[in-house]
Amino acid sequence: MAVESGLESHGMNRDGFKNDLFFSCGFCGETFELALDRRKCTCGGVLDLNFKDQPFAPDFRQRRPGLARYREALAVEPALLARASLDASPTPLVELAPGLHAKCDFVSPSGSFKDRGQQVLVAVALGLGASRVVIDSSGNSGAACAAHCAKVGLPCTVVVPDHAPMAKLQQSLGYGASVESATGGRAGATALAASLVDEPGTFYASHSENPFFLEGTKAWAFELWEQLGDAPAEVVISLGSGTLFLGAYEGFRYLMRQGYATRIPRMVAVQAQGWAPLVGDLSHGDTAPLADGIAIENPRRRTQIEAAIVASGGEVRVVNNAEINEATQWLRKHGIWVEPTSGAAWAGSQQKSQALDGPVVVSLGGAGFKSGQMA
């Protein structure tokens, strides 16, 4: 095993983490011990987590709601998770049409599904002895990170692309984070964040780069399994970086592996026209994205996303701005105010491609106040 700045070399121990936990590269397979400054593989590839998960304890349903409820399936121990908790889950599951359900993550503490993943990342930052946190985000992940950093008292810098909605920037500022804007879209924000993370003691809380984020989004699948009594037949998720998509898929794989679920759902990824790299459509030009949360030209975990779609029998669906607006307005008329990125997922759910033998669940992952749109 290649070792780069492991926990022991920083004077830390493995308290708070599974004892057999290590990083491995999703591209070349090289392995690394946990470290505050280990952000990617030496080959440039993304990192995955490796550890031996366990079945849920027989009495796990007696535990309080939250990520620690599913501790046997997660890489971070309950005591460390609790330090960064804002009690983000479970979120409601609402049937809006026969067999078509909405998972309402927009009611999470910071208003998006990113709370689960950022709870884990901020807990990990504490466990690794970080003195500050840096994140690049189009808005939701930055706001969630800022909220959880406020809970634990860690300074937080959020780097955003210059097209990010002002409402999301104000939210991060409201939690006490500093916000820096970058030109060049999401790629520009990532590059600026990368220049800030070399300061000693800095933790990079990237939801697309750091594999611990997926530990939080795995719980999305666990909550659905409890709410429905089994895995749904299909899930529909707006996809930019794909961190909810991949975390949910890994959660369903765990449930199947342990014998709790009877199936893995068809994983359906929804992308916006012009911002749809999974189908080769990057025709947006200079047009600002309506669904800004999924305006990602090259997802870092694209290979894993595509593998999950194929393995689950899923598909990619593309929606245009008119369909996104229509879906968002329909949801508002039914008492649900979400941002356009969530409207994209609902629009995608209307493109039914085959008959299913069970419920469909759509992720509504971001609150409407985040977009600043009122009509």
Residue 88 lies in a domain: no
Which of 179, 204, 229 delimits the end of a domain? Answer: 204
Which of 148, 179, 204 delimits the end of a domain? Answer: 204
Q: Tell whether 122 and 176 lie within a shared domain.
A: yes
Tens digit of each residue's pLDDT (9 = 90 or more) over 247-290: 999 999 999 999 999 999 999 999 999 999 999 999 998 887 89
Residue 70 lies in a domain: no
Q: Tell whether 247 and 193 lie within a shared domain.
A: no
Q: Tell whether 267 and 193 lie within a shared domain.
A: no
For residues 168 and 271, the model is more confident at 271
pLDDT at 64 over 90: yes
CATH number of the domain residue 147 falls in: 3.40.50.1100
332: number of Cβ within 10 Å: 14
Q: Tell whether 347 and 218 lie within a shared domain.
A: yes
Quick one: average pLDDT of 293-316?
96
pLDDT at 2 over 60: no
Whole-number percent of the chain with pLDDT over 90:
80
Rounded Cα distance between 135 and 63, Å, is 32
**Confidence class of residue 373 from pLDDT cuts 50, 70 and 90?**
low
pLDDT at 7 over 50: no
Nearest to 125 by CA among 241, 6, 212: 212
Q: Provide the pLDDT for residue 87.
A: 83
Rounded Cα distance between 231 and 293, Å, is 26
Residue 10 lies in a domain: no
Q: Tell whether 130 and 260 lie within a shared domain.
A: no
Tens digit of each residue's pLDDT (9 = 90 or more) over 131-147: 999 999 878 999 999 99
Tens digit of each residue's pLDDT (9 = 90 or more) over 18-37: 999 999 998 999 999 999 99
Q: Provide the pLDDT for residue 76.
A: 97
Q: Provide the pLDDT for residue 218.
A: 98
Domain tally, the chain: 2
Rounded Cα distance between 41 and 31, Å, is 8
Print the domain residue range for 256: 93-112+211-370
Residue 326 lies in a domain: yes
Which of 172, 204, 236 delimits the end of a domain? Answer: 204
Evaluate whether 288 touches 257 at the Cβ level (below 8 Å).
no
pLDDT at 12 over 60: no
Residue 54 lies in a domain: no
Residue 180 lies in a domain: yes
* Mean pLDDT, the chain, whole residue set: 92
Q: Tell whether 220 and 260 lie within a shared domain.
A: yes
Quick one: average pLDDT of 30-46?
95
**CB within 8 Å of 201: residues ≥ 6 apart:** 36, 129, 130, 131, 132
Nearest to 243 by CA among 98, 145, 97, 171: 145
Q: Which residue has the tokens 């926990």?
A: 7
Evaluate whether 144 touches 110 at the Cβ level (below 8 Å).
yes
pLDDT at 214 over 70: yes
Q: Tell whether 223 and 363 lie within a shared domain.
A: yes
Q: Tell whether 238 and 331 lie within a shared domain.
A: yes
Q: Provide the pLDDT for residue 8.
A: 36
Q: Tell whether 120 and 108 lie within a shared domain.
A: no
Tens digit of each residue's pLDDT (9 = 90 or more) over 75-123: 999 999 999 999 877 999 999 999 999 999 999 999 999 999 999 999 9
**Confidence class of residue 375 from pLDDT cuts 50, 70 and 90?**
very low
CA contacts within 13 A on the Cβ side of 204: 23
Q: Provide the pLDDT for residue 207.
A: 92
Helix (H) or strand (E) segment spanning residue 329: helix 321-333
Q: Tell whether 219 and 189 lie within a shared domain.
A: no
Residue 285 lies in a domain: yes
Q: What is the dihedral of CA 14, 15, 19, 23, to 10 degrees?
A: -50
Q: Tell whether 163 and 130 lie within a shared domain.
A: yes
Helices (H) and strands (E) in the chain, counts: 10, 13
**Confidence class of residue 372 from pLDDT cuts 50, 70 and 90?**
low
Q: Tell whether 127 and 181 lie within a shared domain.
A: yes
